[in-house]
Copies of this chain bind each other. A is one copy, B any other.
């Protein structure tokens, strides 16, 4: 993203998704990031992936901090969150907090925990 250094002082948002060997898998995740950037042009936004796709969360976080983010919010774009993610992700965040002790790091609810998302998916399922 050009001009990112000018956005210093803002919070950053990392859209965290699973990842896949298939580059096309990332398209909807990147589309969400574009929409975030359109809605809030001053916000730093990055995608990150747990496996198989790049960047990983550690790289995305370092990138945000280098760009001047004063805090980072991780939004898990996961409908279901398994034990792996529920237990491993908090450990990964602890590691990132140790690496960047002066940058607050928040973990948002997974999208599958958002009633608005569940309602919309039900409406979509009923579209014919």
Contact = CB atoms under 8 A, between A and B. Distances in A.
Interface in A6-46: 11, 13, 15, 17-18, 20-22, 24-29, 31-32, 35-36, 38-40, 43, 45
Interface in A99-128: 108, 111-114, 116-128
Nearest to A83: B22
* Residue in A13, A83, A122 whose Cβ sees the most chain B Cβ within 10 Å: A122
B24 A83 contact: yes
Secondary structure of the A side of the interface? Answer: helix
Contacts of A117: 117, 120-121, 124
A80 interface: yes
A25 B80 contact: yes
